[in-house]
Structure 1
Amino acid sequence: MANSISIASSHTSCEQCPIRGLPTFRDFSPEELSFVLRFRQGEHSADPGMAIIVEGENNPRLYTVLTGWGFRYKILEDGRRQILNYVLPGDMIGLQGNLMTEMQHSVEALTPMTLCLFERERLATLYREHPSLAYDITWIAAREESILDEHLLSIGRRSARERAAYLLAFLDLRARTSGIAKLGRPVTLPLTQQHVADTLGLSLVHTNKTLRKLSKLGLIRWLDRGCEVLDMEGLYQMAGWRPPAESRRPFI
């Protein structure tokens, strides 16, 4: 795993940010946009396998994902990895570092990514002068907590087949609402079976058998590197889960 990200050769202006045009995200007011333009330091890129933040390190930066997929994880001393969640366009990375002296997890790029970079030291100014944006960050943190609640329920109480159905339905939906998937077109979830195993807390052998069962039922199609969801409703029913209704979500 590489341990750094690089400065992108080009920058996307906030006025032309692709996230702002998506119907699932709320836009900034003129005053908010003016502050975000000053708050933003630049744009960075990360190749697959690169570390964006590393557990145990102090990180002076905050990031918002502009394009691509990443994942957040922790590793035990013996090398076993637990993937906690996935990050997609609109998600904020590194907020925890503003509250803790060290990062308590790592984030790695799963695909090529671009990230907006923000000055962590100016976060206090955001809270003091822009309460609407401060509320947005609180909303983002609360949403992450609710997602982790559902992941914990899945690992603790769902069967292997139910866990896999939930995860793939959840990620397919997130890809569509974050703008990665084009309307009416299938999306390839860029996962290996090892990623799925490390997310579900299953062995690789058990994960392989579980995904084959879902494939035989016509719910998914497993590719060389990734997965296509063929029957979202079927995955919902198998997992016993439906996504909660959400209003337009904020981002910074």
Structure 2
Amino acid sequence: MSIVLPSPGRRVPCEQCPLRATPHFRAFEPAELKFVSSFKAGELQAETGTTLMSEGTHSAHMYTLLSGWAFRYKSLPDGRRQILNYMLPGDLLGLQGSVIGEMDHSVEALSPVVLCVFQRDRLDELFRNHPGLGFDITWLASREERMLDDHLLSLGRRTAMERAAYLIAFLHQRAAAVGLDGSKQLHIPISQLHVADTLGLSIVHTNKTLRKLADRKLIRWHDRACEVLDVDGLMEIAEWDGLPERKRPLI
């Protein structure tokens, strides 16, 4: 599948960005908002399964996920895949390629997505003239490192059921923070293969593990979606205290 440009009428001005109304994100200073509005080159829309970025490629842009879900992953030559992390609205994509010059991972759309597009060649201007925004980008990179530390701990030391409980609780908390839980039970748009590729388990072991969580009435599995029934119960199994509650930057 390929990325398609939406019609100009569907462009969301930064001043009217729906994410800015979410309490999870810090407010821009007027000068910062003016710069980010000019920094944004447009939007891209992609369907589920679209490769948004490919390992080893160069890009003239970086992106903020405006809506939808995506995931970052690396692959071995024989096609085996390790999912590194999941991207939700407000997350920055492509910073690695913007700074280092080449992507060291790939990104795939987990659902239909809309991306805000930013010009990489103006990144120097952002750091030079808007140090607050420069700090925000550094903060986002540090936050990603912290999440990966937690993921590595889970892969290295938790049991299979603890790993699965941690992953689903983690995704639930991240989605709830940006308002994706709504008034109903949250459906996370992942398949059991995504879970297996995240946890480093076989699909058979993953299926058995998720069935144990379902038997405890903690989750309900649907076709390509996991319904979270008891996030506190998942956190208790994983012995995980959850994500810190604090405002975060939005570029």
Shared fold per TM-score greater than 0.5:
yes
Is it true that 1:5 corresponds to 2:3 in the alignment? Answer: yes
Q: Secondary structure at the match of 1:7?
A: coil
1:85-121 deviation per Cα after TM superposition (whole angstroms, max 9, x unaligned): 0000000000001222310000010100000000001
Letter of the 1:5 counterpart: I
Determine the structure 1 residue equivalent to 2:72. 72
1:6-44 deviation per Cα after TM superposition (whole angstroms, max 9, x unaligned): 112221111110100001111111110100011110011
Q: Secondary structure at the match of 1:79?
A: coil
1:34-80 deviation per Cα after TM superposition (whole angstroms, max 9, x unaligned): 00011110011011111111001111110000000000000100110
For structure 2, the residue ranges without an aligned partner over 5 or more in a row are none
Contact 1:188 1:228 in 2 (8 A): yes
Q: TM-score, normalised by structure 1?
A: 0.97
Q: Give how far 1:154 is off.
A: 0.5
Determine the structure 1 residue equivalent to 2:230. 231
Q: Secondary structure at the match of 1:43?
A: strand
Runs of 4+ with >3 A deviation = none
Determine the structure 1 residue equivalent to 2:214. 215
Determine the structure 1 residue equivalent to 2:131. 131
Q: Secondary structure at the match of 1:211?
A: helix
Is it true that 1:40 corresponds to 2:26 in the alignment? Answer: no
Determine the structure 2 residue equivalent to 1:25. 25
Contact 1:69 1:88 in 2 (8 A): yes
Letter of the 2:167 counterpart: L
Counterpart CA distance in 1 for 2:159 and 2:88 is 26
Root-mean-square deviation (Å): 0.9
Counterpart CA distance in 2 for 1:239 and 1:44 is 37
Counterpart CA distance in 1 for 2:174 and 2:113 is 16
Percent identity of equivalent pairs: 57
Determine the structure 2 residue equivalent to 1:181. 181
Contact 1:8 1:114 in 2 (8 A): no
Q: Give how far 1:200 is off.
A: 0.4
Q: Give how far 1:242 is off.
A: 1.3
For structure 1, the residue ranges without an aligned partner over 5 or more in a row are none
Counterpart CA distance in 2 for 1:127 and 1:21 is 25
Q: Secondary structure at the match of 1:139?
A: helix
